[in-house]
Structure 1
Amino acid sequence: MSLRQTLSGTGVALVTPFRSNMEVDLDALGRIIDHVIDGGVEYVVTLGTTGETPTLSKEEKIAVIRYTYEKVNNRVPVVVGVGGNDTYSLVKELETLPLDKATAILSASPYYNKPSQEGIYQHYKMLAAATPKPILLYNVPGRSGRNMTAETTLRLAKDFTQIAGIKEASGDMAQCMQILRDRPEDFLVVSGDDALVLPQIACGMDGVISVAANALPKVFTTMVRESLQYNFKAAKTLNDQLIQAYDLMFAENNPAGVKAFMAELGLLENYLRMPMLPLSEVLHNQVKTYLKK
């Protein structure tokens, strides 16, 4: 089965819960994993940017990966986020992280140093040579500072069998449609924008790696499935219910928004690692009002 078949539908970019002393809360992580799997997600993604990964130590990353494998217990596939802006360090990380049980690796395009398109290509070329696991590219210019063009994505897709898909979060619908038109048949293309999932699936995307599904997995995964079955009227009805939630989740920063929802649902304590702060009181009250509806 190709990765495009295995990872179709809704993946969830898991948050990393913390206790008041800022230690990783594995008990809460277990509750969250059960919550999203029971809610219908097709797979989980650990150590993405939603997981506040830049603030985690190497030891914490290993502990989170191992706990995730154990708690998921083969119920759904696990994708592991391995990204960074130092290519050589990232190659070493791929060799030392426990990736044996991972279905794939999600690797964000290098952030901050803003490489050229050729630099992005050579970065992923080195990663593809360093790992036996399939790689999902992650284009997120809002965080990385540099868009990965459709031409670069398609070049990587066609040149390296190890590069098996992309999470596209540019928000550029024309770019997404170009990738979808010209991709290899088995190349997975999923959305990285919860608010754009419905129209992007209409254009041909295979699903999404979602933030919102941490908190609201049942309604979100149902919306995605209806979209994938081209039942867009039913999908729109569900998506209309979620629009305000998307706005609140991303109003200040991610994952402060979704953690506010999850705290109200009793899934975790509402702590983030600096420099991220919990959602402001005004917006948090709007989250409470939304959930009561």
Structure 2
Amino acid sequence: MSRFIGTGVALITPFKSDLSVDVEALERLVNFVIDGGVNYLVVLGTTAESATLTKQEKQLVKQVIKNAANGRVPLVLGVGGNNTYEIAEELKTTDLSGFEAILSVSPAYNKPTQEGIYQHFKVVAEASPLPIILYNVPGRTGSNMLPSTVVRLAKDFTNIIGIKEAAGDIVQAMRLIQQTPEGFLVISGDDMLTFPMIQLGGAGVISVIGQGIPREFSNMVTAALNNETEVARKLHFDVMNSIDYIFEEGNPAGIKALLSILNVCSASVRLPLVPASEVLTQKLSNFLATVTA
């Protein structure tokens, strides 16, 4: 599972001004982040605005990314939701060729108990032909997957290989790193906490900012993983403001504004999201002027 140690990025879905999927921009983005040194790509996660994409658009996005990546880095596919058996059926019937793992978010809105979360992922694990990375993001799902539940799943199912932990709770992250089995990947799902989590034994990050400044962020992650603490610390502080900025008006509006400044894609998002304000766009532009100076 060493292929998922380092910097993963949760790719956006670029849109044209008419809000159709921008295939050329998506190809540019894939090349931009791979050339920037990221280690793997996450396809159709939350940052991709997957909730607003049709089945046909999701298939298009998957194919474009697979073709553009061309085997240069591993691909992880986001497959999750709050209908357990629908997810299991999707995993059984979807063509997963070209993907090496599944990222599956804990059910949103239903607010299951810890036993409900365990039983949900039991069904998912038994249905999946690929290794699974759990995804805990209580700010979006409305429920927190506790370390005890993660440890239980990690011990009971060998194909559950890690977790993207995005509770924003460093103590919870420490408990996960301490209590999960040897080799289980505890991956930061919070860009701001990536450096301290790696210092504690985390496996890296599935990042949003990493697709806007891939080289700078990947260099920080690599330095941290190599125990080059002072180098990583400086790089972390160099990029820290940009992490605040891209989430200031919601994700992925902020990262799309940054990518628009870089001429990778437009800043367009689909409702109910709206594009970043001019004030935020100027902050991002000022930041980029400092990192590229």
Residue 66 of structure 1: aligned partner: 63
Counterpart residue number, 1:113? 110
1:250-289 aligned at under 5 Å gives the runs 250-289=247-286
Using the TM superposition, give the Cα deviation of residue 96 of structure 1 relative to its aligned residue in structure 2, in angstroms. Answer: 3.0
Would the aligned equivalents of 1:213 and 1:220 in 2 still touch at CA under 8 Å? yes
Could you tell me which residue of structure 2 aligns to residue 210 of structure 1?
A: 207
Q: C-alpha separation between the residues in 2 aligned to 1:214 and 1:252?
A: 18
Offset of residue 173 of structure 1: 1.4
Q: In 2, distance between residues paired with 1:8 and 1:203?
A: 14
State how far apart, in whole Å, the 2-side matches of 1:151 and 1:100 are. Answer: 33
Moved over 2 A (4+): 95-98
Task: Measure how far apart 1:128 and its partner are.
Answer: 0.6
Structure 1, 260-269 or 182-191: larger mean CA deviation? 182-191
RMSD value, Cα: 0.9
The counterpart of 1:104, out of the listed 82, 101, 104, is 101
Q: Distance in 2 between matches of 1:97 and 1:28?
A: 25
- Structure 2 SS opposite 1:158: helix
CA contact under 8 A between 1:83 and 1:110: conserved in structure 2? Answer: yes
What residue in structure 2 maps to residue 128 of structure 1?
Answer: 125
Deviation at 1:31, TM superposition (A): 0.3
In the alignment, which of 198, 209, 222 is matched to residue 195 of structure 2?
A: 198
1:242 to 235, 239, 243: 239
CA distance in 1, matches of 2:159, 2:272: 35
Greater Cα offset, 108-117 or 93-102: 93-102
CA contact (8 A) 2:106 2:134 kept: yes
CA shift for structure 1 position 59: 1.3
Contact 1:32 1:267 (C-alpha < 8 Å) held by counterparts: yes
Shift in Å at residue 98 of structure 1? Answer: 2.4
1: distance between equivalents of 2:24 and 2:198?
A: 34
Q: Is 2:79 the counterpart of 1:82?
A: yes
Match of 1:41 among 30, 38, 43: 38
State the alpha-carbon separation in 2 of the partners of residues 113 and 282 from structure 1. 36
> How far apart, CA to CA, are the structure 2 residues paired with 1:282 and 1:150?
39
Tell me the distance in 1 between the aligned counterparts of 2:251 and 2:144: 19
Deviation, 1:95, is: 2.4
1:229 corresponds to 2:226: yes
Higher mean C-alpha deviation, range 278-287 or range 47-56: 278-287
Equivalent residue for 1:25? 22
- Out of 121, 141, 159, which is 2:156 matched to? 159
**Count of residue pairs the alignment pairs up:** 290
Q: Distance in 1 between matches of 2:31 and 2:97?
A: 22
2:163 paired with 1:174? no
User: How much does 1:97 deviate?
Assistant: 2.6
Task: Indicate whether 1:93 and 2:69 are aligned.
Answer: no
Q: Is the 8 A contact 1:66 1:98 kept in 2?
A: no
TM-score under structure 1 length normalisation: 0.97
- Secondary structure of 2:167's counterpart equals coil
Residue 136 of structure 1: how far off its partner (Å): 0.3
CA distance in 2, matches of 1:112, 1:26: 32
Mapped partners of 1:186, 1:233: distance in 2: 26
Question: What is the distance in 1 between the residues matched to 2:228 and 2:44?
Answer: 32
CA distance in 2, matches of 1:259, 1:185: 37
State percent identity of aligned pairs: 50
In structure 1, the residue matched to 2:217 is 220
Q: Give the conservation status (yes or no) of the 8 Å contact 1:134–1:162.
A: yes
What is the CA–CA distance in structure 1 between the aligned matches of 2:271 and 2:188, rounded to whole Å? Answer: 28
Q: TM-score, normalised by structure 2?
A: 0.97
